[in-house]
Chain A
Amino acid sequence: MTSSETPTDRPARGPGTSPPPSRILAPWILAVAVVPPGWLYILRTVRWHLTSSAVMLMICWAAIVVVGYFAIRMALSAASEDDASWFVVGRRSDELEREKRSLLKAIKEIEFDRDVGKLSAADAAVLMTSYRARAIEVIKTIEVEAGSAVTVREQILAEVRARMAVDAKVKKKTKKAPVSAPVSAPVSAPVSAPDSVSAPAPASDTDSVSSAPESSS
C-alpha cells in the first residue's frame, strides 16, 4: 500500500470505521418513512379494526421493508470500494487497552481478596508488585502508541521520530533495561498480535529499524 493510495491529510479514523454519518442517514430514514404509509393502507383495508390479522399484515409489511433495505445495502457493499482499514486499524491499541483493563481488574481483585481475608497481606503484596509492574509497562506502551497525532501523516512522523529517538538512546547507553517501545505503525500490513497475557518482549532495535521500511509500506 503506497502512500499515494492513503490520503495522509485525511483525519485518521479510529477503530470501527464507518462512512461519515450523512451517507447512512438518508437510506434508513427513507426506509423507515416507507413503513407507516403501508400500515395506514392496511388499516384502511380492514376498516380500522385493529385485529390480530391486521397486526400480522403490518408486521409483514415492516419485514418487507427491512428485507428490501438490507438486501440493497448487501448488494451495494459487495460492490463498494475496498476499505483496507477494516481488518487493521485500531487492533493494537484495542488489545493494549484490554490488557490494561484486565490487569487493573486483577489488581483490584487481589486487593479485595486481601480485604476479605482470602489472601494474606504478604501474598497480596507480592502479587501486586508484579501486576503493577506489568500494568505500568502497558500504560507506557499505550501512551507511546497513542501520542497526540491527529492525521495519519503526523502519526507516521511521530513514529519515525520515536524510532529515531530510541535508536539514539540505545546507541548512547550500553546496559539499560529493555525499553518496550513497540515499532509497528498503526497503518501497516496486518501484524499478528500476541494473544495471551505475557511479558512484553524487549524491542530488538536493529530488527525494528530495518523492518521499518517494510512495515510502513
Chain B
Amino acid sequence: MTEPDPTTTSLAPGSPHPAPSRAASRGRAGSRAGSEGGLSTTVKVILSVAVLAVLVGFFRYTARGHTSHYKMVDEVMVGYGAWVGKPIKVHGYVEPGSIVERVVDQETVRTFILEHKGKRIQVRNTGPKPDSFKDKSEVVADGTIVEENGEPILVATNLMAKCPSKYQGAPKDKLFD
C-alpha cells in the first residue's frame, strides 16, 4: 500500500494552487525514501510494527473482562480460585436430585449441582432453562464464579444444553446463512 506523504502547503487563503504538472513532477522526481520531510522506509516500518504491537497489547488488556473460558467442572475445581470473578463457561452433568426451583416474586430461581468426574460445583441461576434440563442432563453454564462462605458458587446468567451433534461433521452440516 502506498503510504502518501501529506505535503501540507500553507493554509493561508490566497496562496495559489500548484499547477498539476508541477505537482506531478514533484511526485515523480523524489523517491519514496527521499521525499521532502518524509521518514525513511525503515523507520516507517518499525513505527508501524510498534504501533501494531501496542494496539494488540491494548486489545488483550481490554478483552480480559469479555473473554470467557470453557472448562469442564473438574478442570475448574482443581483450582477455582483462579477463576473467581472471571467470565467462564462450565460444562458438566446435573447431579440427580440437586435441582431446586422456586418462584420468588415472579422470578424463577434455581440452584443445582453440576458434576463431572467426581468434582462438583454449585450453580445458581434465574430465568429460563433449556428444554432438556433435568437430572443427569448435560449442561453448559455460562457465568461467573463467586465465593460465598468459602464455597465457590457459579452464578450463571445463561444455561445451554450441550448439543452432541454440533461438533460432528458430515450429515448435520446444514446451512444457516
A interface vs B, CB < 8 Å? 120, 122-123, 126-127, 130-131, 134, 197-199
Instruction: Check B13 against A120 for contact (C-beta < 8 Å).
Output: yes
What is the CA–CA distance of A123 and B9 in the complex, to the nearest angstrom?
14
**B17 at the A/B interface (Cβ < 8 Å)?**
yes
Q: Is the CB of A130 within 8 A of B14?
A: no
A120 proximity list for chain B (CB < 8 A): 13
Interface size class of B (residues with CB under 8 A): under 10
- Interchain nearest-CB distance for B12 vs A (Å): 12
Q: How many whole Å from A163's CB to the nearest CB in chain B?
A: 26
CB distance from B28 to the nearest CB of A (A): 9
User: Closest residue to B17 on the A side, CB-wise?
Assistant: A126
Contact of B16 among A126, A131, A134, A198 (CB under 8 A): A126
User: Who on chain A is nearest to B21 by CB?
Assistant: A199
Cβ-based interface call for B24 (8 A): yes
Would B13 and A199 count as touching, CB distance under 8 A?
no
Chain B interface mostly helix, strand, loop or mixed? loop
Q: Determine whether B78 belongs to the interface, using a CB cutoff of 8 Å to chain A.
A: no
Quote the shortest CB–CB distance from B16 to chain A (angstroms): 5
Q: How far is the CA of A198 from the CA of B24 in the complex (A)?
A: 7
Min distance, Cβ A195 to any Cβ of chain B, angstroms = 13
List the interface of chain B (C-beta within 8 A of A). 13-14, 16-17, 19-21, 24
Smallest CB-CB A-B distances: 7 pairs: A199-B21, A130-B19, A126-B16, A126-B17, A198-B24, A130-B20, A127-B17
Taking the nearest CB of chain A, how far is it from the CB of B17, in angstroms?
A: 6
Using CB atoms, name the residue of chain B closest to A199: B21
Closest to B14 in A: A122
User: Would you give the shortest CB distance from A210 to chain B, in whole angstroms?
Assistant: 27
Are B17 and A123 in contact, CB atoms less than 8 angstroms apart?
yes
Closest to B24 in A: A198
- Bound together, the chains give a CA A22 to CA B16 distance in angstroms of 59
Q: Which residue of A lies closest to B16 (CB)?
A: A126
Nearest chain-B residue to A119 (Cβ)? Answer: B17
Q: Which residues of B contact A126 (CB under 8 A)?
A: 16-17
How far, in Å, is A122 (CB) from chain B's closest CB? 7
Chain A residue numbers with a CB within 8 Å of B19 are 130
Say how far B63's CB is from chain A's closest CB, in angstroms: 43
Give Cα A130 to B22, complex, Å. 11
Closest to A134 in B: B20
Partner of A199, one of B14, B16, B17, B24: B24
User: Bound state CA distance, A123 and B16, in angstroms?
Assistant: 7
Residues of B within 8 A of A122 (CB): 14
Q: Which residues of A contact B21 (CB under 8 A)?
A: 130, 198-199
* Across-interface contacts of B24 in A (CB, < 8 A): 198-199
Q: List 17 A-B contacts (CB under 8 A).
A: A120-B13, A122-B14, A123-B17, A126-B16, A126-B17, A127-B17, A130-B19, A130-B20, A130-B21, A131-B20, A134-B20, A197-B20, A198-B21, A198-B24, A199-B20, A199-B21, A199-B24
- Max chain B C-beta neighbours (<10 A), residue from A131, A197, A198: A198
With A and B bound together, what is the CA distance between A126 and B22 in angstroms?
14
- What chain B residues lie within 8 Å of A123 (beta carbons)? 17
Smallest beta-carbon distance A114→chain B, Å: 13
In Å, the complex CA distance between A131 and B17 comes to 12
Kindly state the separation between the CA atoms of A63 and B13 in the bound complex, as whole angstroms.
Answer: 65
In the complex, what residue of chain B is closest to A122 when comparing beta carbons? B14
Chain A residues whose CB sits within 8 angstroms of the CB of B16 once the complex forms:
126
CB nearest neighbor in B for A129: B19
Q: Which residues on the A side are within 8 Å of B17 (C-beta)?
A: 123, 126-127
CB-CB < 8 A to B14: which residues of A? 122
- The CA of A131 and the CA of B20, in the complex, are separated in Å by 8
